[in-house]
Structure 1
């Protein structure tokens, strides 16, 4: 469920916004001052923050600045200020958007939805998706899903799979794969034939039948390649 943190010192505004977001099926957290807002933002994994600039203890600008030091969560500022310099300052501090008071609660919800669509599109653009979403590789989270289930891979197994899947059909020699296991600065003391063992273990985890693999394929006398079919709308390939 999408989670929003609403920050405003006016109870009426919090209640109205809460009602509108709840109507859209969102999970709601609220804070009426800057200190509580920072605690909530740090303690909970929220998807977006709606932040009033006029708070009783810490300014909204300072709250935004402190949040930005630790998180890139989208922030929409609510402001009664109309001065262009003040608005631009908020954007420079890291706000993604701002809404001037008085505002339509529906407008705030729509703007939040639009921002999250853009954020989710950027994230999904990095995913490698194959065989009608039967296997999904997320290089940001370094997660692999097979038929909707997250599979636990060792770092070496993940790097091997990501390397092969990044260029479906390309044949990699064992030596090339060994280099890929080391080139990101990770320490891996192995030899070319040790790649075979990692491939065998990888197949056990991602293939329906490890003896008849459809993803990690052997090219005899040469090495390995990825045989998955890229999803029709796969943006990363």
Structure 2
């Protein structure tokens, strides 16, 4: 049985094309036309990936993604007719893993879904390792990071960016280097996406230690991380 894909899309023609393309790739695909039905399915069935239209008739895709992120870190790809950069940034800020503008090729969607699932899949031959610090513990086999005894609920891109910073403590990593580590096709992304995900990581760290920030911004250069204690605000 292949990985389980949930499509939440109100246009039947688009849904049919995706059902055929993803099904042909060996995925097990289910389609819901409304946000309410998709949310109910996701809460009751195991799902490996969600393809989510932004312009749903009952609840916007953005709002639905916010609700999904309250209980699940399943990868989410937005489909939208809106191509403005601000919409892409909003989508990334609320936890989306990819953002595709209509019209698109169903085969491209299949390739993107497969690439995201491949990168999200734990690598069995990477041993468990930890950052040499009392503040962070990195478990690459399970693709998770602990900060001050709290496991962080990170999106896929947040995890990849933070794990890259942890691999290079005290080193300034440029946005290009962080994009190379996190994106299957860095050329398809944009610099502000890195800033957006850094903002998301910081927000999750600050929920644990509101007065500290271990991520350091180097203006015009990139970011670094302080593994020792992150004792000063930045």
TM range (shorter): 0.5 to 0.7
1:124 Cα offset (Å): 6.7
Q: Hey, what does 1:56 align to over in structure 2? A: 57
How far 1:40 moved relative to its partner? Answer: 1.0
C-alpha distance in 2, partners of 1:36/1:98? 22
Counterpart residue number, 2:13: 12
Q: Provide the rounded CA distance (Å) in 1 between the counterparts of 2:60 and 2:124.
A: 31
1:116 Cα offset (Å): 0.4
Query: How many equivalent pairs are there?
Result: 132
Per the TM alignment, residue 121 of structure 1 is displaced from its structure 2 partner at its CA by: 3.6
Looking at structure 1, the residues matched to 28 and 56 of structure 2 have their Cα atoms a distance apart, in angstroms, of 23
Alignment of 1:89-168 (within 5 A): 89-121=90-122, 125=126
Counterparts in 2 of 1:94 and 1:22: CA distance versus 1, 3 Å: same
1:1-237 matches, within 5 Å, as 1-121=2-122, 125=126
Q: Could you tell me how far 1:60 is from its partner in structure 2?
A: 0.2
Unaligned 5+ runs, structure 2:
130-139, 143-234
- Say if 2:39 and 2:68, in contact at 8 Å, map to a contact too: yes
RMSD, aligned α-carbons: 2.2
Instruction: Please state how far the C-alpha of 1:122 moved relative to its aligned partner.
Output: 5.5
The CA distance in 1 between the partners of 2:88 and 2:28, in whole Å, is: 28
Give 3-state SS (helix, strand or coil) of 1:110's partner: helix
Question: What is the DSSP-based 3-state SS (H/G/I as helix, E as strand, rest coil) of the residue aligned with 2:121?
Answer: helix
What is the CA–CA distance in structure 1 between the aligned matches of 2:35 and 2:27, rounded to whole Å? 22
Structure 1 segments unaligned to the other structure (5+ residues): 129-137, 141-237
Does the C-alpha gap of structure 1 residues 86 and 24 become closer, same or farther in structure 2, counting only changes over 3 Å? same
Indicate the structure (1 or 2) with the bigger Cα radius of gyration.
1
How far is the alpha carbon of 1:126 from its aligned partner?
5.8
- Paired with 1:104 and 1:82, the residues of 2 have a C-alpha distance of 16
Assess if the C-alpha contact under 8 Å between 2:122 and 2:141 holds in 1: no
Query: Runs of 4 or more off by more than 6 Å in structure 1?
Result: none
Measure the CA separation in 2 of the matches of 1:114 and 1:108: 10
**CA 117–39 in structure 1, closer or farther in 2 if over 3 Å, else same:** same
The whole-number CA distance in structure 2 between the counterparts of 1:121 and 1:77 is: 23
Residues 40-71 of structure 1: per-residue CA shift (max 9 Å, x gap):
11111110000000000000001101001100
**How many Å separate the matches in 1 of 2:55 and 2:84?**
14
